[in-house]
A and B are shown apart, each in its own frame.
Chain A
Amino acid sequence: MNEHLSPEDISRWFAGERSPELERHAGECDECSAQLDHMESTLAEFRGSAYGWSAAQPASAPRIAWRPPVRHTAQRWVLAVASMFILVSASAYWHSRQQTRAAEMARADALLVQVDTEISRAVPQTMEPLVDLVTWGPGPTDESQKKEMR
């Protein structure tokens, strides 16, 4: 290849298309080699400017700010714990309430039994010894009452 590299050849060179002919010519021709060097140094300057610009930015907090918002996770935990607490509290309260109610019912039943006992007595308690002395027979029947009338 005796002809110089065309402008397209230079672009092709940097785009990665380098035929052995192009490489041989670039190695032998000072003019083409200079053109390639010029393009390469321009691209190197461009790279340097991009690096420099990026590095000139103030070191930012984002290095830790990438993390997913912890708030949401924490909120979920708080909600879960609160739900558990409410569930356990409600259960304990219900259980305690049931026990209290059972005790009250037992007390009420006992009272009713006592009242029944009190009401079923024929005489006041103080007179019960006198009642024990008397034997109660069956009451007058209709037949005996008729005989007495006659």
Chain B
Amino acid sequence: MEPVITTRWIPNAVEQTREIEDFDAVVRLYWPKIFRFALASLRDRDAAESLAQDCFLKAYRARQGFRGEASLSTWLMQIAVNLVRDSIRNRRLRFWHRTRAVSPEFDLVSQSLADRGTTPEGAVLARERLAAVWGVVETLSERQRTVFLLRFVEDLDLLEIAAVTGLREGTVKVHLFRALEAVRKRMGETQ
């Protein structure tokens, strides 16, 4: 098990600002990451695509102001997190339940992953576990969900999550702990 990295990383400002000059390359490189985060957050392909576009459009317009204090990836993710927050606020109530119906392919993917198990029983259990985790993520608060997805989908360390969300490292830990508690409890129920 790899420990969670908590050392401060120092981006190379010159390299970062140079990287943003070729914005087409930036989009090619970071589109999958932003789209994936948006998709996992909103569970709506069209909304995720639209959000990713908005994210890169905003970044493009603000690129002159990018000084490379944070990594380009962190900067883009900051924009995406803000857009996800706005999107969820705009949708107000029950956005997750409403959008679930328009993402049937999620079931196919989870099934294919679960089917990699050695036995049919193992595959069923894996599928159930996966569904349980997604079900719990569905019930998390917007901040807990964002922190959870950044940590366990995007593999960001705590300091990066703090930089992306604007939260303190301690607060990130608290949100992550609560999200993990919810997941663990739900897994205990399904076992």
Mutual binders A and B: yes
Give me the interface of A with B, judged by CB distance under 8 Å: 7-8, 10-12, 14-18, 26, 36-37, 39-40, 42-43, 45-57, 60, 62-63, 65-68
Kindly state the separation between the CA atoms of A105 and B181 in the bound complex, as whole angstroms.
Answer: 97
Q: Are A16 and B173 neighbours in the complex by a CB distance under 8 Å? A: yes
Nearest Cβ in chain B — how far from A76, in angstroms? 16
Q: Give the residues in chain B near A51, CB-CB below 8 Å.
A: 36, 153
Which residue in chain B gives the minimum CB-CB distance to A26? B1
19 contacts between A and B (CB under 8 A): A11-B181, A16-B3, A16-B6, A17-B177, A39-B184, A45-B113, A46-B152, A48-B113, A49-B106, A49-B110, A49-B130, A56-B109, A57-B105, A62-B35, A63-B27, A66-B57, A66-B60, A68-B60, A68-B61
**Consensus secondary structure, chain B interface:** helix
Give me the interface of B with A, judged by CB distance under 8 Å: 1, 3-4, 6, 27-28, 31-32, 35-36, 39-40, 45, 49, 52-53, 56-57, 60-61, 103, 105-106, 108-110, 112-114, 126, 129-130, 133-134, 149, 152-153, 155, 158, 173, 176-177, 180-181, 183-185, 187-188
Given that A10-B184, A63-B31 are contacting pairs, would A56 and B130 also be in contact in the complex, using a CB cutoff of 8 Å?
no
Instruction: Identify 12 new A-B residue pairs, CB closer than 8 A, beyond the known A11-B181, A53-B109, A57-B105.
Output: A14-B176, A15-B177, A18-B4, A37-B1, A40-B1, A45-B133, A49-B109, A50-B149, A53-B40, A66-B52, A66-B60, A68-B61
